[in-house]
Amino acid sequence: MSESGTVRTKNMVLRLDPGLAERLEAVAEVEGRSVSDVVREAIAALVEDRRKDKRFIRLLEDNLAKHRRILDLLRDDRP
């Protein structure tokens, strides 16, 4: 929350094919919610699923090791 007590959010642009956008709007309408609310819920669920996904964690660890090697290479003082 900010000092004024409001929840801070970040605006993002999302491009969807028209058919998916129409189905998303239908879901939001049926549930009596905003499209933004439905999208936030879906993204939160995806992120939580990835946090528990062993394959994703392995991929993240592999990427971290790769970037550490690159960082070490760039930090090396040898010409």
- pLDDT for the residue numbered 31: 98
Per-residue pLDDT of the chain (79 residues; tens, 9 = 90+): 566 678 888 999 999 999 999 999 999 999 999 999 999 999 999 999 999 999 999 999 999 999 988 888 898 776 6
Read off the pTM: 0.73
pLDDT value at residue 5: 74
Q: Are 39 and 24 in contact (CB under 8 A)?
A: yes
Residue boundaries of the structural domains of the chain: 18-75
State the CB neighbour count (10 A cutoff) for residue 50.
Answer: 13
pLDDT of residue 2: 60
What pLDDT, on the 0 to 100 scale, is given for residue 1?
Answer: 56
- The rounded distance, in Å, linking the Cα atoms of 77 and 79 is 6
Q: What is the pLDDT of residue 79?
A: 62
